[in-house]
Each structure stands twice: as structure tokens, then as C-alpha cells.
Amino acid sequence: MAWIRTIPKEEAGDEPRGLMGRRLNWKDYMRRALKIALAFSLPYPLLLVGFYVAMRQSPEVFSGIMSKTSNVAFLIFPFKRMWLSAREGSLKVGDAAPDFSLETYDRKSRVRLSAFKGKKPVVLVFGSYT
């Protein structure tokens, strides 16, 4: 390997040396540490904001983004806290449910929540049964 340089024993001593064989002092260490810190700290907030914006998109868009996300990202970013913040609604206890319509199971008609107002009690269950 051409990039490795062996240093003669009399030259080596106990002082640390860089790749080119020159002696390193504390300023060099601080510069390197700063460069490494900047290399990691600049992309982090950008990705954090990017994931938060993605969480506020429709489920189709968000799932497309998350399917391409590395598993390592789940260790680095606070996904649970971001998700709870991004999907937090503005409804309070006692507020009327927002109106929506859903296609029936047989896909022949649509049902609106407002059609039941004052007629029948409605129970909305959100969850997965798989």
C-alpha cells in the first residue's frame, strides 16, 4: 500500500503523528475534532426537519419515504416524539368529530359521518386487526 509510510524508530518517539508522518499537537486535534463535529452536526438538523415534514404528509407519501430509510435512522432520530408532535390534532374532549366519508366494503357506495348526526349513536374505532 503506497499511502502507508513507516517511520524510523529514532524518529517516531512517543509523540502522535498524522498520516503524512508529521507530529500532531493539540491544535491539530482540536481542528480535527471540530471538522468531525461539523460533519455530523450539519446534516442532523436538516434530516430531523426533513423527517418531521415527511411525517406531516399523507400516509402514502410518508410510507414511501420511510421504506427507503435505513434502520440506523431509528436509533439516531427521536421518531416517536416527532410522530406524536406531527400527528397531534387540534380536537379537544367534547369537540364534534370532523366530517368524513368512507367507501363501503363492497365499494358500491360511500357513507358520511354527518348522515348519522341526530339519528344513531356512532362509535369510531381506530386500530389494526391484523
For the segment 95-124, the average pLDDT, to the nearest whole number, is 89
User: Between residues 92 and 12, which one has the greater pLDDT?
Assistant: 92
Q: What is the pLDDT of residues 11-25, one digit of tens each?
A: 555 555 555 556 667
Q: What is the pLDDT of residues 49-83, one digit of tens each?
A: 999 999 999 888 999 999 999 999 889 899 999 99
Query: What confidence score (pLDDT) does residue 5 get?
Result: 61
Task: Find out whether 116 and 102 touch, Cβ atoms under 8 Å.
Answer: no
Query: What confidence score (pLDDT) does residue 50 get?
Result: 92
Query: What confidence score (pLDDT) does residue 54 get?
Result: 93
Query: What confidence score (pLDDT) does residue 41 get?
Result: 85
Query: What confidence score (pLDDT) does residue 15 get?
Result: 57
Q: What is the 3-state secondary structure (H, E, C) of the chain?
A: CCCCCCCCHHHHCCCCECCCCCECCHHHHHHHHHHHHHHHHCHHHHHHHHHHHHHCCCHHHHHHHHHCCCCCHHHHCCHHHHHHHHCCCCCCCCCCCCCCEEECCCCCCEEEHHHHCCCCCCCCCCCCCC
The whole model's pTM is what? 0.51
Query: What confidence score (pLDDT) does residue 93 get?
Result: 87
In angstroms, the CA 116 to CA 124 distance is: 12
For the segment 84-97, the average pLDDT, to the nearest whole number, is 86
